[in-house]
Amino acid sequence: MAGVQISGSRVLLTGASSGIGRELAKQLAARGAVLAISARRRSLLESLAGEIAANGHVPPIVVDADLSQRGAARALASDAEQALQGVDVLVNNAGGGVGGTIAAIGDRDEGREAFETNYWSPLALINALAPAMTERGSGAIVNVTSMAQVSSWIGFGGYAATKAALGLATETLAMELSHSGVLVMEVMPGPIDTAVQGETRLAPGIERMLARSPLGDPAVMARLVAEALERGKTRVVYPRRARLAYLLPALVRWDTRRLAARTVKEMDSDTRDAFWSLVVRTGAMGDEVTREAREAWDRRDTA
């Protein structure tokens, strides 16, 4: 598949207010892209747009949207197409989630909202924007999933399921568009040094699993994605050590189950009962306990 010429490309990037999305917006702008950036926190988007403009690049168009709500993605697609006069590259980076055991989450609203953000909204954006790309015979669709689809953890199953669903949809979409001229890319981050690491560490014993790989740098992740677009790559896995997990998933899952079983065995009854009944929304707009954990992670370097 031929690569994408980023300079002059019209890009809709979701989840741009922080983390990988924020770094990717700066990388794409530096390469000459014309951006529409979206997230729920408009103030952070405007700050990012100002930073990009101050660096001498085309100021992004800010379109705030809450992709946990059904219908928001289709409205976002319409707004972006109108503002950019078409979309050449769609980057589905927005993410949110749910923390808790599978039995506790069930079909609660928190779990359904996680699927809306991480699965249904990306598919709605693809449904709205892909037809024009295929008609032109060019463009790119980038879906940011997660290595959680390869190796989950206790309390992370709901989130991992949303990313696994998007991963499988992305693989299928790539087959379906293989002769269309539209590049389909899956980005699979492993542990990255962003605020999400704060809430991740609320899960009992997860340090045992995270010890397998050092944290990746979000700026490096963003650079790799931009370079992959230019080269026409269909998959990016980062950090480097996460590639081994992608290539040997059965071994990694066996080891994860072993570590998780040890963690559960070591819990006292009070801890186990409290954890087994807890359900929280995660992400920047999540519940108070997860927001505080994210903020504490961001503050650690300035403490």
Range in 45-49, 196-200, 269-273 the model is least confident about: 196-200
Q: Does 3 fall in a domain?
A: no
Q: What's the rounded Cα separation, in Å, for the pair 122 and 262? A: 36
Across 256-263, average pLDDT: 92
Across 21-45, average pLDDT: 97
Q: What's the rounded Cα separation, in Å, for the pair 104 and 200? A: 18
Mean pLDDT of the chain: 92
pLDDT at 85 over 70: yes
In the prediction, which pLDDT does 143 show? 98
Q: Does 229 fall in a domain?
A: yes
Catalytic positions are 159
Which one is predicted more confidently, 3 or 226? 226
In the prediction, which pLDDT does 303 show? 47
Q: Identify which of 34, 29, 48 has the alpha carbon closest to the alpha carbon of residue 223.
A: 29
Which amino acid would we find at residue 272?
R
CATH code of the domain covering residue 119:
3.40.50.720
Cβ atoms of 192 and 221 within 8 Å: the answer is yes
Q: What's the rounded Cα separation, in Å, for the pair 291 and 158? A: 18
pLDDT at 226 over 80: yes
Across 104-117, average pLDDT: 96
- Report pLDDT digits (tens) over 5-19: 999 999 999 999 999
Q: Does 14 fall in a domain?
A: yes
Q: What's the rounded Cα separation, in Å, for the pair 53 and 202? A: 37
In the prediction, which pLDDT does 301 show? 57
**pTM to 2 decimals?**
0.93
Number of domains in the chain: 1
In the prediction, which pLDDT does 100 show? 92
pLDDT at 38 over 60: yes
Rounded to whole angstroms, what are the CA distances from 176 to 2, 40, 163, 179, 221? Answer: 16, 31, 20, 8, 27
Pairing mode, if any, of strands 61-62 and 10-14? unpaired
- Domain coverage including residue 77: 10-299
- The residues, any chain, with a CB within 8 Å of residue 229's CB and separated by 6 or more, are 3, 4, 6, 89, 140, 142, 183, 185
Q: Does 2 fall in a domain?
A: no
Range in 11-25, 33-47, 200-214 the model is least confident about: 200-214
Chain position carrying tokens 């590639």: 243
Q: Does 1 fall in a domain?
A: no
What DSSP string runs through the chain?
Answer: -PPP--TT-EEEEESTTSHHHHHHHHHHHHTT-EEEEE-S-HHHHHHHHHHHHHTTSPPPEE----TTSTTHHHHHHHHHHHHHTS-SEEEE----EEEE-HHHHTT-HHHHHHHIIIIIHHHHHHHHHHHHHHHHT-EEEEEE--GGGTS--TT-HHHHHHHHHHHHHHHHHHHHTTTTTEEEEEEEE-SBSSTHHHHHTTSTTHHHHHTTSPPBPHHHHHHHHHHHHHHT-SEEEESTTHHHHHH-HHHHHHHHHHHHHHHHHHS-HHHHHHHHH-EEEESTTS-HHHHHHHHHHHHTTT-
Range in 44-48, 173-177, 266-270 the model is least confident about: 266-270
